[in-house]
Amino acid sequence: MLNECMLVARNTAVAGGLIPVTYTDSSTNNLADIIGIASQSGDITLASNASTNITYCTGGGVDARYLVLPAGVTLDTTVGNKALRDVIADLGIDLDNTTIEMTKFDN
């Protein structure tokens, strides 16, 4: 199973906590608060006010094909005066959009 990834921000209400990055419209979002990208294998169902541990990256390479962005958001969405892809790159995260060609030609 391939993991989907999502953008996360700090949860200032909970020490060491993270929250998903959200987007309602250009004035109601926390896109500028991105600190990393989280990935979890499988689904997690939590009770109200429950928490769990997750792994997130703050640098390195991420396969952009599995990055799930909030509804209405693309990597070209403007965050301040930059595109979202540039905000992510400034964190030190390289979004890899390449695909692997598995065709073999007989020579």
Q: Where are the alpha helices (DSSP H) in 1-102?
A: 84-90
| Average pLDDT score, the chain | 85
Q: Which long-range contacts (CB under 8 A, 24 or more apart) does 95-101 make?
A: 95/62, 95/64, 95/67, 96/61, 96/62, 96/63, 96/64, 97/64, 97/65, 99/65
On the 0-12 / 13-18 / 19+ scale of CB atoms within 10 A, 31 is buried
Q: How many residues does the chain have?
A: 107
pLDDT at position 3: 66
What pLDDT score does 75 carry?
92
Report which of residues 25 and 75 the model is more confident about: 75
Residue 37 has pLDDT above 50, yes or no: yes
| Tokens 């065709």 -> residue | 103
pTM: 0.78
pLDDT at residue 77 in the model: 93
Work out the angle at residue 4's Cα, subtended by the Cα atoms of residues 20 and 17, and round it to the nearest 5 degrees: 30
Express each pLDDT in 4-24 by its tens digit. Answer: 889 999 988 888 888 889 988
Q: Residue 40: its pLDDT value, please?
A: 77
